[in-house]
Amino acid sequence: MFDFLTSKNPKILVVGDFMVDHYIWCDCERISPEAPVMVVKSKKEDKRLGGAGNVYANLKSLGADVYAIGVIGDDESGKFLQENLNAKLFIEKDRKTPLKSRILSHSQQVLRLDDENDFETKLENEIISEFKKIIKDFKAVILSDYKKGTLSDKVCKELINIANSLNIPILVDPKGNDFSKYKNATLLTPNKKEAMNALGIDSLDNLEFFIKKLKDDYGLKYSIITLSEEGIAVFDEKLHIIPAKALEVYDVTGAGDSVIAMLAYALSLNIDILKACELANKVAAVVVAKVGSVSVSFDEVKNLEKSSFEDKIKTKEELIKITQNKKIVFTNGCFDILHFGHIKYLEKAKKLGDILVIGLNSDKSVKRLKGNDRPINNEFNRACMLASLYFVDYVVIFDEDTPYELISFLKPDILVKGADYKDKEIIGSNLVKKVKLIEFEDGFSTTNIINRIKNDRKNRK
């Protein structure tokens, strides 16, 4: 699947609407007395490349050599893009660089504020001229259209004609109900709703007919429709459905950007379109399991490919290497007999960040804490049961009585404990940014299960 990684990093050009995604992470503990709205306290904020910039970031993460062409305003958001893109960015008077501010509480988006203005570029000739000047050096082109005025009819048609004349794949993430300006592109990546709008229909019941109609109407080499949780439909000479790979969906922001980035990367290396769509599905599966606009690396896609959950059992040294620049959620315990209460607790913990790491007490540690008749299951079996849960990213076994040393080494962002720790000392709380208490499901505990088994045995006698 990943043999092509030995190839040189392909040069890919992104042209389109570049913007800034602004995330404000908040805590919410009450409702306002003035109105039925949440009162939030800002804890952290960050800015990321958005729109066509997210396509650019995904290509960089995959290993491509990326360059960009776009139009920005003379403002702070424009400066952010200039500092973070290898690009020719034309500054246009009176234009606002689109800034999308998202307020999130407990990893859930509660509000989005867009700061932008409707703007059709007057710099069409400059964009086309720059494209002509550099296009021969690239193996693929992406037009990332967010209807912010950069990709006018004239720009799209000229760029597609130039790329076709040089036999360079040109892929388009389309917007709007009229796809005529994208005619003769290599492929488009509309979702179901966009495809139906462009075709003027209410249903895709006859998928093969309509996906072929898109191909014929717009002179595409390949016709593609992304089908959300159903995967990707692609028509070359016949219809193929590439099933989705996602097991969990937290946020679909940027999934389309990641899909077109992977398709362009694959086609630039002459990979078959069906294999390219398989890879795009895997990339999308990684993206939707995270919060916000994110880029995806091949290491993450490879992890999705792994057939054995034993690969999720790591040493602390291995974890340091693979969890960099991720929001790490950490919890710990013996997890001797895995039950429904554990599963719900861990599922809630996963939603608090990017990666959930479980510190698992070793057999020696459990015996010291709970007596010589414990654990019931050995540490390897316990680790495998935890690792088999799709929302658990990694398990690390520790020998100490407490996880303090492990927490000190991993430096997680969030430490999760059960709600029964309220008003109690939480070991390692001084080493993390935040402690989160999660309510347990009533009526579930390993000790109760063991006692019930013992009582059943006594009653049988």
Q: Which SS3 state, helix, strand or coil, does residue 86 take? A: coil
Q: Which SS3 state, helix, strand or coil, does residue 181 take? A: helix
Helix ranges, 269-372 (H): 273-287, 298-305, 316-322, 340-350, 363-370
* CA angle (405 as vertex; 403, 411 as ends), nearest 5: 90
DSSP result, 91-138: E-TTPPPPEEEEEEETTEEEEEEEE------S-HHHHHHHHHHHGGG-
Evaluate the CA torsion angle 306, 308, 309, 310 in order and state its sign: negative
User: Is 194 annotated as contributing to ligand binding?
Assistant: yes
Distances (CA, A) of 7 to 2, 137, 189, 273: 10, 17, 26, 18
Which member of 257, 336, 354, 393 is catalytic?
257
The first and second tokens of residue 172, run together, are: 């388009």
**Catalytic residue list contains 257:** yes
User: Is 192 annotated as contributing to ligand binding?
Assistant: yes
The first and second tokens of residue 457, run together, are: 């045995």
Evaluate the CA torsion angle 273, 278, 279, 280 in order and state its sign: positive
Task: Enumerate the known binding-site residues for ATP.
Answer: 191-194
Which residues are part of the catalytic machinery?
Answer: 257
Task: Enumerate the known binding-site residues.
Answer: 191-194
